[in-house]
Amino acid sequence: MSLNESKNLAESTIEHEYYSWFPYGYQSGKTKYIVVTGSVMSGVGKGTFSGALATLLSCHGFKVSPVKFDGYINYDAGTLNPFRHGEVFVLEDGTEGDLDLGSYERALHRNLTKDNYLTGGKIFKTIIDKERAGKFLGRDVQFIPHVTGEIKNFLRQLAMKSDADVVLVEVGGTVGDLENSYFVEAMRELRYEEGKDNVMFVNVTYIIEPNSLDEYKSKAAQLGLRQLLTLGVQPDMIVCRSQTPIPNSVKEKISGFGNVPLSRVYNLYDFSNIYEIPLALRDLSLDKELFSILNISPKENDDTLLNFKTWEKFLNKVENANKEIVVGIVGKYTNVHDSYLSVLKSLEHAAPYFDTKVKVKWIEAGDIEDGKTKVEDALKGVDGVIVPGGFGKRGIEGKIAAIKYVRENNIPYLGLCYGMQMAVVEFARNICGLKTAQSTEINPDTECPIIDIIPEQKDILEKSNMGGTMRLGSFSAKLKPGSLVRKLYDKDVITERHRHRWELNPEFHETLEKNGMSLSGIYEKRNLCEFIELPKNKFFVATQAHGEFTSRPLTPSPLFMGFVQACVNQ
């Protein structure tokens, strides 16, 4: 903290009731803020809308920096169960975030950082650390002004660090949740301090259509808007989500009840192709209304990657694809498809470039392991198989059985993180003759620890320090000349993102290679294997990394491009 900042903070806590200091050099009005809230229910589509809006604004030439706020007290998403929260998305700097951060990166075709993610836990830890250090100079620390002030400071710091034209704030959860009420209050204060031309609110609500009535009912949406107004927030726009187009009469009710002009009430019903949404928002003139509210004008877009022309070209590929492939995903969280959201999106990104669409066949690894489903029945009709990341013992023998089947039947295979580890275990057992091969994650006392924990991770586990301590973020890999992955990436050295503790034990590298497995990518600093492949198969590639985290519509992951092409050829 600089001297000027420290003085400003001290003055705000002793001489004034405000705790809303402005970072040194900050200029009000230079950055505009768009705050997206949700009402009626969670999962209403705030993240999808926010991502589409980010794409639209980027195509108009604006530099957008998004923020996702999650009200839970966890410091980050790293310890959350996929069954409860879906995928944990890892940023380049190692931040473990909400899956909406992945939506933002894919929408903007740009890497984000820890500064684009905020949780209740992160806010409270910051405040407690300051209080313990005596930063508040004897004041009683309160939600207002201290918690709300810290939130506003976080956003203003982001505006300066990113040099953003627009900071796009998505408030997690639903209006009325206790856990996000203080954040909504902070946004109200932000508008008060920055001015109405600089901060706008968009409420995404849901219009229900009970099957028993066969008509839309807007009362739930009206109550959600009332809750927002009660909190002192007047929305500037309302986005009505629904399954099918709603009648104008419903929009009129929402307009009157929310005190929002009818021209700023929009209906986004379910799209079969979410990549249409940015252009659909433009067709609805939502962008023009937004420009009017914030008193801004479109800029000249000099981005050769993300612009209206390239987006329309990609959308045309998606809409005109006339082939279909079936990809089996063998996992342990298959009942919650959001657990594998980035994998699904990576397939969507790659498929149009081969004039195809992807149909996913979900295969529960536990059913194969328990004998409920025969592996040949589970994989019947698939053109390729992916085994994605995961943790723990449940379902691993089912994954291994599936990998053995695709290897022996020459079906295209892509393994991601745990999918690489299990591919190594299967190969070691059935080709190298190491019948007891196992991961020490599953059996710490195994005679053949072909997958083992690295020493620093062992120390971490012994101290029971779980949060944010895995091998996280981007790491490099030197690719073997002549290998398939070298051909796919067209580079000698690449980087991909990681999230794991266990590694392929270097003591077994030579044995695997002697028996026909190519260790085609190595993190040279630690002699850790990053990629394996079986040259005798049409496509059998696995990586310790998560290649799905860096895939984007206009720049698909090389691994998924190669996999989809192999499936099409299959």
Task: Give the C-alpha separation, 103 to 48, whole Å.
Answer: 7
For residue 410, the tally of other CB atoms under 10 A from its CB is 14
Helix (H, G, I), strand (E, B) or coil at 521: strand
Spell out the alpha helix ranges (H) of 195-306.
219-230, 248-258, 277-283, 286-294
Task: Give the C-alpha separation, 182 to 198, whole Å.
Answer: 21
Do residues 305 and 109 touch, judged by C-beta distance below 8 A?
yes
Do residues 188 and 53 touch, judged by C-beta distance below 8 A?
no
Task: Give the C-alpha separation, 238 to 263, whole Å.
Answer: 10
Do residues 422 and 437 touch, judged by C-beta distance below 8 A?
no
Spell out the alpha helix ranges (H) of 276-334.
277-283, 286-294, 308-320
Task: Give the C-alpha separation, 230 to 161, whole Å.
Answer: 33
Do residues 360 and 563 touch, judged by C-beta distance below 8 A?
no
Task: Give the C-alpha separation, 497 to 113, whole Å.
Answer: 13
* Active-site annotation holds for 548: yes
Catalytic residue (one of 417, 432, 529, 567): 417
Task: Give the C-alpha separation, 387 to 302, whole Å.
Answer: 39
Task: Give the C-alpha separation, 432 to 418, whole Å.
Answer: 20
Catalytic residue (one of 85, 349, 498, 546): 546
Task: Give the C-alpha separation, 38 to 100, whole Å.
Answer: 14
* Active-site annotation holds for 498: no
Q: Tell me the sheet residues that pair with 504.
A: 451
Task: Give the C-alpha separation, 147 to 128, whole Å.
Answer: 10
Nearest to 412 by CA among 237, 493, 533: 533
Q: Which two tokens stand for residue 16?
A: 């004034």
Task: Give the C-alpha separation, 121 to 97, whole Å.
Answer: 13
Q: Which two tokens stand for residue 462?
A: 């012994």
Do residues 340 and 560 touch, judged by C-beta distance below 8 A?
no
Q: What angle do CA 169, 76, 119 make, to 5 degrees?
A: 40
Task: Identify whether 145 is preceded by a cis peptide bond (ω within 30 of 0).
Answer: yes
Catalytic residue (one of 85, 369, 548, 567): 548
Task: Give the C-alpha separation, 559 to 541, whole Å.
Answer: 8
For residue 427, the tally of other CB atoms under 10 A from its CB is 25
Task: Give the C-alpha separation, 427 to 422, whole Å.
Answer: 9
Q: What is the identity of the amino acid at 273?
A: N
* Active-site annotation holds for 337: no
Catalytic residues, which ones?
417, 546, 548
